[in-house]
Structure 1
Amino acid sequence: MSNTSHATRPTLFVTGAAAGIGRAVAEHFLRAGWFVGLYDVDEAGLQTLQQAWGAEQCITARLDVTSVNDWVMALAAFEQRTAGRLDVLFNNAGVAVTGPFEEAQLVRHHRLIDINLKGLVSGCHLAFPLLKRTPGSRVINMCSASALYGQPELGSYSATKAAVRSLTEALDIEWRRHCIRVVDVLPLFVNTAMVTDEVSRMKTVSTLGVRLGPQDVADAVWRLANTPPSRLAVHNLVGWQTKLFATLSKLSPGFMNRLVTARMAGY
C-alpha cells in the first residue's frame, strides 16, 4: 500500500502495545479501521498482533521509550507509512515498583522514572511535529489514580504519575495554539500483568479489589480520541472508585485524605 493511501485514515501511535491496556486500546482502534503503530520492547507480542491484523492495518517496531534513538526511528517509519499523519499519540508504556521505598534497589526506582516520565516526555517532544501537522490531533497520557495522593509502597510510581498529570495540564495549555489537545486517563487498579505480578502485593489492592479491565481503559481512550476537541476534559477518571476518591479528595481536608490513604495501605 502506498504512503498516500493512509492519508485519509485516522492514525494511532501506541507505546506498550504488546499486552494489557496498550493491546486493548490498539485492537479497539484496529477494529474501527484506524491505522495503528504498535510499539513495545516485547517483540514477540508485537509479532502476534501484526500476524493477527496484517501489515495493511498496522506497523510494529521495538521501542524502548527510554531511548531517544528508538523514538526517532519509530516516528520516522510511522510518518512514512501515514503520509505524515498522527491523530492520536497514546503514551501508555509504564512499570511499577512496589514495597517499602528503601527496600527496592535504587536502580529500579531510576528505571521506573526513566520509563514512566522521561519516556513520555521524549514521546511528546519528538512527536510534536507530526501532531502539529495533523488537524485535531491529541495526546492521551496514561496517568493513574495514584496521582491523586501519593500511595505508600508505590511512592516512585505515584510520583511519576503526578508528574504526568502536571505535564498534561501544562502542555494542554501550551499546545492549544497549535490545535493539539493533551489529556490523560486516570484508572485505579486494572487487571493487567503489572498489577497481578507487582502491584497486587499491596494491602491497598486487597482492600479495594481490582474492578477494572484493560477494555474499560480502552473504551475511555476511544471516547477521548473521538470527542470534539472543545469538549475534552484534561483529566479523565476511569471507574466509579476513582471518581469517588477524586471527589472525596476535593471535599475532605488534607489530614483526612492522608489518614484514609494510610489506613487502606495498612499504615
Structure 2
Amino acid sequence: MSLLEFGDDAARRIERVYATRDVVAQREQVLELLAPAPGEDVLDIGSGPGFLLRAIAEAVGPNGTARGLEPSPAMNALAQARCGDLAWVGIDEGSAEALPYGAAAVDAVVSTQVYEYVADVPGALVEVRRVLRPGGRVLLLDTDWDSVVWHAADRELHRRVMAAWEEHLVDPRLPRTLPGLLERAGFRVVERRLIPLFNPVHDEDTYSAGTIGTIAAFVAGRQGLTEDDVARWAADLRSRGTDYLFSLNRYCFVALAVDDPP
C-alpha cells in the first residue's frame, strides 16, 4: 500500500505523532462523525497503533465488535498492546485492496490516511461496500498535500523536499475525487468536513514537529536530495521560533451504502 516501511522504530515514531494534541483533536471529530453506537460491528481499515480502534471499541462496548486491519506487523503489535484488554477487539494483518471479511459483516467502516496510498481506489471502495450491511456507513479521511503551508527560509529546498515526500503516496490529492469515487462504488455521500491541522509555533506536541523526522528519513536520496540537504531543511524548520507556521487540510467524507451495490 505504501512506500513507507513501518518497522519498530518507524511505528513508534508514528505512534508519538498520533498522540499529539492536533491529531487527538482530529480523532475526536472523526469519532463524532462516525458515531459508533453500542452493539455495532465496526471495521477500522489502516488501524495503525490502535488509538482510534480503542476509542471505537469503548463506544460499541462488549455487545459489539471493533476490528482493525493493518498491513504492518509493528503497527499491529502496538495496537494489540493498546487494545488487548478488550475481548471484543480483533486485529488482522491485511490491506484495503482485499478485505478478509465476508459480505455484509459490519455496520460501519472507518479509514483515516489510507486511501491516498492505495493503487486501485475504485476496487478498494467496492470492497468496503461488499463488507457493509445494507444502510451501513463509511467514513474516509485523507489529505490534499497541495494544502500544506510551511514557513521555510529556503523555498526551493523546501519545494524539493515536499516533492520527494509525495513519492510515498499513490495520489497526494485524492480528496478532490473521493466523493465521485464513493458514489460510483455504491454510496451516497451525506457529510463533508474540512479538518485543518494548524501549528502556529514549533512545539514537539504537534503533528508537524513530529512529522519532520518522518519526512527527513524518507526523502534523503530522492529528487537529488543529500542527507546534508535534508538535515539543513529540518534544522531550518526547527529554528523558526516565533516565525514557525504550519497548516495542512484533511478532508473527511461520510457516505451511506445504497440498496444495490454495483
Question: Per the shorter chain, which TM-score range?
Answer: 0.3 to 0.5
Greater fraction of residues in helix: 1
The structure with higher relative contact order (CA 8 Å, sep 6+) is 2
Q: Which has the higher strand share?
A: 2
